[in-house]
Amino acid sequence: VPTATLPDPAAVREEMLKIYPSKTLKKRSKQMLVNDPSAPPEIGANTRTVPGIITQRGCTYAGCRGVVIGPIHDILHITHGPIGCGYYSWLTRRNLAQQRPDQPINFLQYAMSTDMMESEIIFGGEKKLAAAIREAYEIFKPKAIAVYATCPVGLIGDDIHSVCREAKKELGINVFGFSCEGYKGVSQSAGHHIANNGVFKHMVGLLDEPDPEPFRINVLGEYNIGGDAWAIDTLLKKCGIHVTATLSGDVTYDQICKCHTADLNVVMCHRSINYMAEMMETKYGVPWIKVNFIGAEQSAKSLRKIAAYFQDKQLTDRVEEVIAQEMAELRPVIADVKTRCEGKTAAMFVGGSRAHHYQHLFKDIGMLTVAAGYEFAHRDDYEGRDVLPSIKIDADSRNIEELEVEADPEKFQARKTPEQLAALEAGGFSFKDYEGMMREMRKETLIIDDISHHEIEKLIELYKPDIIGSGIKDKFVIEKFGVPCKQLHSYDYGGPYAAFTGAANFYKEVDRMINTKVWQLVTPSWKKPADPAHTFGRG
Ligand code: CFM
Ligand code: HCA
């Protein structure tokens, strides 16, 4: 991409900021930066959105129930609250699970809620919750039930945890609650933290039955959107690497209960699950490494890293064989797509990890990301792990209790001997080498945290990107400007995009989206003569 043709990012930033009143301007200034990969500047991430700004963020309940725990498909999820939260989170995130012979019903299709009414808001909803748990148990006989508190529950002070404890005693199954009221944090990120704590406390470690296969790993922070976890699983299987559990994509309760028996945790989405990786290491001795199966080069690098960890010649050879095979199939696709996509530009504003990961897929086909940002990530996701001590004081972490975790004297098991660790280190292997987004991005890229609709409009006007990766809340705003928008949350119902096979799907879809002539037919409404019936809004 001839970067000389790109606008000056500092000038774009000024242009975006100039309409804000002074207090908002001050705040937003810290959340918009021009990148320097050699010394990432400090970003004002994970702070409260200014009221009135149109944000893409979600709430704590969404992060807990919707994102991290929702995909566990053989337990019941009961939302305690008025019906809205349960109803509007029903099947919106693409939590895919395969039907299994031992479990004919896929519980993910249900929306279960206590449907609190005015009387419960006034007199308390604990009795109704206890009755709902009992009723749900009678109908479905699940292995476990999880209860999620919504905003009003926290406000009136229902004690969901004691209701769950009672139900656990009465029914003889695992019942546990999450105080994930939507207002708890500044975004869904707080919900991840609450979810991790609960999963760790109530599930991990309950089943001491290691899978018999060698090279056992858990894939943490992989949620099987569009079948990504299946694509990764297939690739790992080809190499002879076994997945004990994917947290949380197409995963069962038992898999989570025994995931502490794995040899290694590999972390895809650091933002949503770093807490779990750290806690499992402390309590059970499972080390973790960061991986990324989005993008061909990144997938190869991740496989090599896993093989390097196991220090096994046969596995290393097999991994190289698989990479060679997969790349032989992928190369012609890349070459073909590149003829039409090379030199095009992308911008990405997504969640807490994909804005980073997907840049690699665009890079594979010769495209450049000119601007990027997360919705709710923290400083370490932008700047790298080095900032960890200081992120402890960020907005979400202040509100959420850290679990006190210590090594379990019976279950802790060091996965490597000191000699093996020394050999790994001598070979240049490093654990926890999490670099964050900024170090892996071109100098002068514009970084925008928690982007607003106003800023997206300015970005389109000044950068004219060929494609934007984003979510449902702004997809159609973007497309009305004549710019294709690829949803990087739901994949617009496509996918998988992970691993080599998924990468091929992504390249072809981006090619189709960018190169279709349909965008030339779009005339945005503000370019047409004013309609006297709609005189308000954009003039
Ligand atoms: Fe992690 Fe996710 Fe993401 Fe996320 Fe999400 Fe998601 Fe996302 Mo939507 S866990 S941070 S809270 S990778 S639901 S599967 S797509 S915003 S970038
Ligand atoms: C969430 C879920 C979401 C929303 C997607 C979007 C998802 O944040 O609660 O805004 O397009 O991936 O389903 O991130």
Residue owning tokens 């009992």: 134
Estimate to the nearest angstrom the gap between the alpha carbon of 341 and the chain centroid: 27
Are residues 178 and 227 in contact, defined by beta-carbon separation less than 8 angstroms? no
Lay out the sheet containing 288-290: strands in order across: 242-247, 216-220, 264-267, 288-290
Nearest-angstrom CA–CA distance, 154 and 191:
14
Nearest-angstrom CA–CA distance, 453 and 56:
9
Pocket test for ligand 1, best of 354, 474, 487 (most atoms within 8 A of CB): 354
For residue 432, the model assigns a pLDDT of 87
Give the E-state strand segments of 5-94 in sequence order: 32-34, 76-80
Residue ranges of the alpha helices (H) in 387-445? Answer: 388-391, 395-399, 418-426
Residue ranges of the alpha helices (H) in 264-312? Answer: 270-284, 296-310
- Supply 235's token pair: 């690739």
CB atoms within 10 A of CB 457: 16
> Is 3 a residue whose pLDDT tops 90?
no
Which residue has the CA at smallest separation from atom 7 of ligand 1? 351
131 CA to centre of ligand 1 in angstroms: 33
For residue 393, the model assigns a pLDDT of 59
Where is pLDDT greater, at 138 or 538?
A: 138
> Is 524 a residue whose pLDDT tops 80?
no
Lay out the sheet containing 76-80: strands in order across: 112-113, 76-80, 144-149, 174-178
Pocket test for ligand 1, best of 93, 220, 272, 437 (most atoms within 8 A of CB): 272
80 CA to centre of ligand 2 in angstroms: 21
Q: What is the pLDDT of residues 234-288, one digit of tens each?
A: 999 999 999 999 999 999 999 999 999 999 999 999 999 999 999 999 999 999 9
Q: What is the pLDDT of residues 276-333, one digit of tens each?
A: 999 999 999 999 999 999 999 999 999 999 999 999 999 999 999 999 999 999 999 9
Where is pLDDT greater, at 317 or 390?
A: 317
Estimate to the nearest angstrom the gap between the alpha carbon of 498 and the chain centroid: 13
For residue 283, the model assigns a pLDDT of 98
For residue 394, the model assigns a pLDDT of 65
Percent of the chain whose pLDDT exceeds 70:
95
> Is 205 a residue whose pLDDT tops 80?
yes
Q: Which are the contacts of 505, defined by CB distance < 8 A and separation ≥ 6?
A: 494, 495, 496, 497
Q: What is the pLDDT of residues 37-56, one digit of tens each?
A: 999 999 999 999 999 898 99
What's the rounded mean pLDDT across residues 119-141? 97
Is residue 425 packed enough to be buried (19+ CB in 10 Å), middle (13-18) or exposed (0-12)?
exposed
What's the rounded mean pLDDT across residues 227-238? 98
269 lines ligand 1 (CB under 6 A): yes
For the CA of 222, the nearest ligand: 1
Atom of ligand 1 lying closest to residue 352 CA: 10
271 lines ligand 2 (CB under 6 A): no
For residue 433, the model assigns a pLDDT of 86
463 lines ligand 1 (CB under 6 A): no
Are residues 346 and 466 in contact, defined by beta-carbon separation less than 8 angstroms? yes
> Is 425 a residue whose pLDDT tops 90?
yes
For residue 538, the model assigns a pLDDT of 44
Atom of ligand 1 lying closest to residue 350 CA: 17
350 CA to centre of ligand 1 in angstroms: 8
> Is 539 a residue whose pLDDT tops 90?
no
Which residue has the CA at smallest separation from atom 1 of ligand 1? 269
Residues annotated catalytic, as ranges: 59, 62, 93, 192
95 CA to centre of ligand 2 in angstroms: 11
417 CA to centre of ligand 1 in angstroms: 36
For residue 1, the model assigns a pLDDT of 62
Percent of the chain whose pLDDT exceeds 90:
88
For residue 533, the model assigns a pLDDT of 59
Which residue has the CA at smallest separation from atom 14 of ligand 2? 489
Which residue has the CA at smallest separation from atom 17 of ligand 1? 351
Which residue has the CA at smallest separation from atom 10 of ligand 2? 471
Please give the mean pLDDT across all residues of the chain.
94
62 lines ligand 2 (CB under 6 A): yes
Estimate to the nearest angstrom the gap between the alpha carbon of 266 and the chain centroid: 14
Nearest-angstrom CA–CA distance, 61 and 497:
27
Distances (CA, A) of 29 to 349, 449, 497: 17, 10, 34
Beta bridge partners of 382: none
For residue 2, the model assigns a pLDDT of 65
Are residues 327 and 531 in contact, defined by beta-carbon separation less than 8 angstroms? no
384 lines ligand 1 (CB under 6 A): no
Are residues 112 and 136 in contact, defined by beta-carbon separation less than 8 angstroms? yes
0.95 surpassed by complex ipTM: yes
Nearest-angstrom CA–CA distance, 6 and 344:
11
Nearest-angstrom CA–CA distance, 415 and 55:
43
> Is 397 a residue whose pLDDT tops 90?
no
Residue owning tokens 């933290």: 193
Give the E-state strand segments of 171-308 in sequence order: 174-178, 216-220, 242-247, 264-267, 288-290
93 lines ligand 2 (CB under 6 A): yes
Phi first, then psi: what are they for 70, rounded to 5°? -45, -40
| CA neighbor of 252 nearest in space, from 480, 75, 70 | 75
Query: What is the 3 state secondary structure string of 314-379?
Result: HHHHHHHHHHHHHHHHHHHHHHHHHHHHCCCEEEEECCCCHHHHHHHHHHHCCCEEEEEECCCCCH
Atom of ligand 1 lying closest to residue 62 CA: 11
Are residues 440 and 359 in contact, defined by beta-carbon separation less than 8 angstroms? yes
- Supply 458's token pair: 């300015």
Q: What is the pLDDT of residues 8-25, one digit of tens each?
A: 999 999 999 999 999 999
Nearest-angstrom CA–CA distance, 69 and 152:
21
Nearest-angstrom CA–CA distance, 309 and 311:
6
2 CA to centre of ligand 2 in angstroms: 34
Confidence of residue 386 (pLDDT cuts 50, 70, 90): confident
> At 158, which helix (H) or strand (E)?
none
Window from 381-395, 445-459, 472-486 with minimum mean pLDDT = 381-395
495 CA to centre of ligand 1 in angstroms: 15
Nearest-angstrom CA–CA distance, 400 and 230:
33
91 lines ligand 2 (CB under 6 A): no
Distances (CA, A) of 421 to 264, 416, 418: 14, 6, 5
